[in-house]
Amino acid sequence: MGSRVVIKGGTVVDGSGAPGRRADVALEGDRIVEVAPNLSGDRTVDASGAVVAPGFIDIHTHYDAQVFWDPALTPSCFHGVTTVVAGNCGFSIAPVRPADRELLAHTMEKVEDMDPASLIEGVPWDFETFPQYLQSVARHGTALNYSAYIGHTAVRMYAMGEEATGRAARPDEVDKMATIVREAVQAGAAGFATSFAVTHRGADGRPIPSRWAERDEIYALCKAVADAGRGVVGINGGENLGFSESYELQLQIGIPFTYTAVLTTPSGAHVKAAEINRRGWARGAQVWPQVSCRPLSFSMTMSEPFTLNVNPVFAELMPKTSAERRAAYADPAWRARARAEWTTDRTVPPRWDSFEVMESTANPELVGKRITDLAGAVGADPFDMLLELTLNEREPKDLRVKAILANDDVNGITMLLTEENTTLGLSDAGAHVGQLCDAPLSTDLLGNWVRERQTMTMESAIRKLSGQQADIFNFTDRGYVRPGYYADVVVFDPNTVAPGPVRRVRDFPAGAERLTADQPTGMQHVFVNGTAIHLDGQHLPAAMESRPGRLVSPAPW
């Protein structure tokens, strides 16, 4: 393209929440230089009838490893995303000692469904510290803008070695971890992320390292971010730090927190969470609960049943062989122990009515059938039915089921999306790649929730996808269509934008498979720092290969 590109004839929705207006947008180099009617340039890009918006910022991704073998960060790049934040839930891949790479890879396998062979083969491993990791990403380059938290689990493993799982940290170890976090943020990390979620268990089935942290450690590592003078704390809450407690901690620390996640549940806990959030903000606590417009639905095999592993009896099987798992499934005593655990307050009983057969080698005719229907037809318990179907297979991996964990209440989602101080998150792009694909969060919001359901205005939705995210992280000069800002711009047809289908492919290192969504509708043009990576509805591989993305860091507060 020429040196001055004009996106012409569209409705500019600038990311501020202000009403859209008809205007042209001129780009020169990597910047927006003018937003006004009747502009001219060396090259014109047609946006007639379309919305011109800031590139979307996805603040909850796990592209920490994938960025090296897939710099386009697919499928996020297809859905108008121009900036991502990785390292969520405390799962960065740095710092890491060479001897711990395989353990870290297997931890990522259990908590985020990443294939260890893909990580070992696809990551260059030319780094040890977090600043070195950022330098490696910069050397290899990305097609989208990239930012990443330093993760609690990696920090704990680096500072405490094998004892990161199993005990509290000593004061000297807490000091060491705080120094690592502070230096990472000063070097450009987005902040510090941690997880206390009961779903997060490591390679040995025990809670991940961050779940062993006590309050003094949590406080010290969050304060290290504040001491660095920039950055955000990302919390996946749970037993060590509950939702309401995060507001108290934020008031002590003083920098923005995001919280993963507030989702609808049959218990109605999301209604209580919304009230806690309103009260917290009224007191001045800047905690941004992440919400999503997509059901949290997992496609999982019975060799890695992620949603069931919340149950400690299931978690015992995580390091076991396939044969050992099969023997447990067949054992009435093991089943009784698993059932008993669901009656305690330590875990959440499965929503059996949401379980559905997706793949079965032994009984393909059952695909699409609900487990409760199959159980009811023979007077069986759904849990027993699921295990008997698994035992019919040659191996547990040959049965794949879909299960909804949360966020399938339309009225509840509507309430959460329209809360003033919530933000969009939990796309989990880059994680759970064989189990879900929620990277289309942006096109789902714009198509299904803005156009079809009219849950919120286009202006409000785009603000939550862009300007608000940039403000939370203090990504200056991004998130808005304004003169002087970086030319991260997306152009889409509001009448047809939609996420498109999800399909299973095998294109990761070591032949690993994943789910992807690479065929959205309505996405016309996408610019990253002034370079078109998607034009006239077509993906531009050559432009992607030029890797126009930049490392993005929060500005000082």
Which tens digits make up the pLDDT trace of 152-175? 999 999 999 999 999 999 999 999
- Residue 183 predicted with pLDDT over 60: yes
Structure tokens at 12: 């500019």
Question: What separation in angstroms does the CA of 537 have from each of 28, 46, 214, 520?
Answer: 22, 11, 50, 10
Q: What is the reported pLDDT for 170?
A: 98
Whether the pLDDT of residue 200 is over 90: the answer is: yes
Between CA 553 and CA 557, with CA 555 as vertex, the angle to 5 degrees is 135
Predicted confidence (pLDDT) at residue 1 exceeds the cutoff of 60: no
**What distance in Å separates the CA atoms of residue 551 and residue 137, rounded to the nearest whole number?**
8
Would you say residue 346 has pLDDT above 90? Answer: no
pLDDT value at residue 287: 98
Interaxial angle between packed helices 410-417 and 269-282, expressed in degrees from 0 to 180 and rounded to the nearest 10: 10
- Please report the sign of the dihedral spanned by the C-alpha atoms of residue 204, residue 210, residue 214, residue 217: positive
C-beta separation of 385 from 375 below 8 A: yes
| 503-555 tens-digit pLDDT | 999 999 999 999 999 999 999 999 999 999 999 999 999 988 899 999 999 99
Rounded to 5 degrees, φ, ψ at 233 are -105, 125
State how far the alpha carbon of 334 is from the alpha carbons of 240, 324, 328, in Å: 28, 12, 6
Q: What is the pLDDT of residue 2?
A: 62
pLDDT at 196: 95
Question: How are beta strands 423-424 and 538-539 bridged, if at all?
Answer: unpaired
The pLDDT-based confidence of 345 (bands split at 50, 70, 90) is: confident
Q: Dump strand ranges (E) for 428-512.
A: 489-492, 503-505
Helical spans, DSSP H, in 320-440: 322-330, 332-342, 371-377, 382-392, 410-417
**All domains of the chain in start order, with CATH:** 53-295+407-545 (3.20.20.140), 299-406 (no CATH)
Q: How many CB atoms neighbour CB 345 within 10 A?
A: 5
Residue 538 CB contacts under 8 Å (≥ 6 apart), including other chains: none
Q: What letter does residue 366 receive in the DSSP assignment?
A: G
**CA 145, CA 58: separation in Å to the nearest integer?**
10
Q: pLDDT band at residue 434, thresholds of 50, 70 and 90?
A: very high
Distance of alpha carbon 448 from alpha carbon 293, whole angstroms: 9
What whole-number distance in Å separates Cα of residue 82 and Cα of residue 526?
A: 8
- Residue 463 belongs to what H/E stretch? helix 458-465
List the helix and strand counts (H, then E) for the chain. Answer: 19, 23
Residue 89, pLDDT > 80, answer yes
Q: How far apart are CA 241 and CA 215, in angstroms?
A: 8
Residue 239: the pLDDT is 83
Give CA 339 to chain center in angstroms.
31
Distance between CA atoms of residues 370 and 356, nearest Å: 4
Q: What pLDDT band is residue 187 in, cutting at 50, 70 and 90?
A: very high
Task: Give, to the nearest 10 degrees, the angle between helix 243-253 and helix 269-282.
Answer: 20
Average pLDDT, the chain: 97
- pLDDT over 70 percentage in the chain: 100
How many Å apart are CA 520 and CA 447, to the nearest integer? Answer: 10
